[in-house]
Structure 1
Amino acid sequence: MTLPQLNIDRHDRGRRALITLAGEVGPATAPQVRTALERCLGDGITIIDVDLTTVGLCDSSGLRVFLDASRHAETQAFGAAFDRGSAASWSGTADGRRGTASSACSG
């Protein structure tokens, strides 16, 4: 059995980070996504964009990671938004504005 593969790249610009995911987000790889998002928050990043354009599969475990991150961001006065358009993103702002959540992930 071949394990799903997920590549995670992070590029920071000031207090903003772009996380680019390529591959599958499922039970075996969702913890890697969670870790990447938590590291951003731990590093003081206030806006996180997650590019999902090259994600072939995102199941309920992947969706759970994004929902948990969204909830965490809201408790920290961040907002969250998901979209699988050309610049899919999860982002938070430090000014307390709240965002909305939607996702192309399915489970």
Structure 2
Amino acid sequence: MGPKTEELICVLDQLAAMLESDGDTHWSLWVRKARARLLDSDYSGITYLLSAYGGMSSFNDLILGQSYDGGAFSWKPGHVELNKRFDKLRNDAAQLAGAIKRSQD
């Protein structure tokens, strides 16, 4: 396993934890599945992860820190900082996966 893959696995760990702490199950499972494949040295983890980006309702569109309680939408405290950190990790994951994919093509 190369250093970029190791770095990507670390980023995916952080993403999964962040998603789970915000109550997300769909994308946290997606990230964990990609991570598991990479840990097994399965290159399909890269293509699987990258398939989450782009299109309507994709990983790119996800915003954390929202809640809907009793018919009212609200933001959780710290949502701006949460989403800044989330955006950075999400972008880091895409860039690392893209670099790994280019090195394999």
**Normalising to structure 2: TM-score of the pair?**
0.31
Which structure: greater strand fraction?
A: 1
Bigger RCO (CA 8 Å, 6+ sep):
2
Tell me which structure has the larger Cα radius of gyration.
Answer: 2
